[in-house]
Structure 1
C-alpha cells in the first residue's frame, strides 16, 4: 500500500515568506485573540455574516504566523472520507490518498473549514479529538491515530444568523472552540476597504457604504442576505471598470440579494436615493 498526499496547500510556507500580506483591516481585538489561541493550540470558530471578511482574516493570520493554509468549503455532501482520506486504485496498486484535514495534521498547516455547519454532523464529529487537548486525528481505515504536527491549527466559520437550527454546531463541538464574533466594519473602515479592494475613490466608496447600510436596516423577509462588504466591493469594481453606478449596484448588490419582485423594486429605489441614479428595470 502506498500513502499519498492528494491535496495541495492554499498557501505554502515558502510562498508565504515572499508573498505580501492579504489585505485585512482589524475592527477589534480579533487578531490578538486569534494569535493567542493559536499559540496555545486552541481551535477557533469564527461567527459572522456572509461576506464580512472571515476568510480574508484567516488568510492574513496564516501569513502573519508563517503557516500554510488549507481551506475546505463545506457542503452537505461532505463526508468524513473527503476530509480524512480514502483508498484509490492506481493501476494495480491500492493507494491511500490523504484528505485536506489529514494533510494539515501531518504538515502542521492551518486547516480552515468554511461554513462548517453545512457539513453533516457525523462528519464534523471526527474533529473532536483534534479540537481539544488531544490534538489527534484517528484514521480508522488505516488503523492509526496521528498526533498533530507542530504548527497545526483548526479554524472553522459559520453564519449563525443564516443557518437554521437544524444546521448548527453541536454543543460538544462548540465547547472545544474559542469563538470570535465578526460583524460588518464601522463605516470609515468599510469605506477604506472598498476603496482599496475595488480601486474607487473615497467618495464612491462612501456612497456604496451608505447604500449598504440602508439595506442592512431593512426589515423584510424577501432578502436572502443583507448587503455584505463583499457585494459592495464587487459593485465598486464594476464602477471602476466604467459601468454606471446604478447598473453596478443593480447587478452586484440588488440582483444577488433577492428574487422577490417587490423587494427588488425597493432596492432599486434605494439605489436612486443613496447613489443618485435610477437603476434599470
Structure 2
C-alpha cells in the first residue's frame, strides 16, 4: 500500500510516511509532473544548480506519495556493485548483501541518485532496464532479474553547470526519463524559504536574497558556483546565533564559494555594500 510505513530503516532508507512533510516551496508545476510520472512508472531526471532544492523536493515528494526514500550520493568511484550489491564475508560464511538500488527495487522505494553524472558511465548503464518499460534490475552475480515492486521510483539529478564531454549522461539514459528543470526561486519565494529554514526575520531574509542576486549576476571565472539558497540559509542561521550579517555572509557565502583571494575580496566588498553592519538579526 502506498501509505505503508518503512519497515527496514536499518537498510539506510528514510521512513517518510510517519514524519512531517519536509518543507518545500513549489515554484511551478514540478510537483504535478513528479507525481504524474511516478503514477505512470516513469523515471525522473532533475536538472539544476547546486543548492536550489532538488534533494528537498525529492524528500517532499516521497513523503506525499508515502514511499520510503533511499538516497545515493554518486561519485567517481561508485561501482555497479555499490548500487546493486555484492558478496561479503560474515564470519565463516559468504553472504549476498543488497545494494541501495536493489533494496529500493525489492521494497518499492524511491531511489534517488544525487549528481548521477559523477558516477562512471559503465555504472549508470545498469539503470537502463529499470528506467524504461521493463522496470527490471538484472543481478548478474545472482543470475536473477528482479521486477520492480509497486511504488518503486527512480530519480536522478545533476548540475548542468558542471557537465562536460567526459561527465554527462548518455543520450540512451536521458531519453528514458522525464526531465524537470530547476532554477533559483523567484525573489519572494526565496525570501520565504530563508525565513522558514533559517529562522530570521523577513527584512534580514530580503537583504540576503538581494546579495545573492547580485552575486548571481557576476561574470568571473573564479566562481565555480554562485550563491545558492542553501548558503543563504546557512548565513541566516549564523545570524540567528548572534553574528552580524556581514560576519555571517563572509563565513557562509564567501568562504564556500571561492578559494581565489581576489574573488574572495570582491565578494567581501559586495557584502559590505549590500549588507548593513548590524548585530545578529533574529
Q: TM-score w.r.t. structure 2 length? A: 0.94
Call closer, same or farther: CA 1:80–1:7 in 2, change over 3 Å. Answer: farther
Relative to structure 2, which stretch is displaced further, 261-270 or 116-125? 261-270
Task: Could you list the structure 1 runs, at least 4 aligned residues long, displaced by more than 4 angstroms after superposition.
Answer: none
Relative to structure 2, which stretch is displaced further, 160-169 or 216-225? 160-169
Call closer, same or farther: CA 1:230–1:6 in 2, change over 3 Å. Answer: closer
Cα distance in 2 for partners of 1:24, 1:113 equals 19
Query: Who is 2:197 aligned against?
Result: 197
Cα distance in 2 for partners of 1:275, 1:172 equals 47
Cα distance in 1 for partners of 2:207, 2:266 equals 18
Query: Who is 1:275 aligned against?
Result: 275
Cα distance in 2 for partners of 1:136, 1:232 equals 41
Cα distance in 1 for partners of 2:87, 2:12 equals 20
Instruction: List aligned pairs for 1:11-22, cutoff 5 A.
Output: 11-12=14-15, 16-22=16-22
Cα distance in 1 for partners of 2:89, 2:203 equals 58
Instruction: List aligned pairs for 1:1-281, cutoff 5 A.
Output: 8-12=11-15, 16-277=16-277
Q: Is the 8 A contact 1:46 1:158 kept in 2?
A: yes
3-state SS, counterpart of residue 259 of structure 1: coil
Cα distance in 1 for partners of 2:44, 2:136 equals 16
Cα distance in 1 for partners of 2:195, 2:13 equals 26
RMSD: 1.3
Q: State the number of aligned residues.
A: 271
Q: TM-score w.r.t. structure 1 length? A: 0.94
**Unmatched 5+ stretches in structure 1:** none
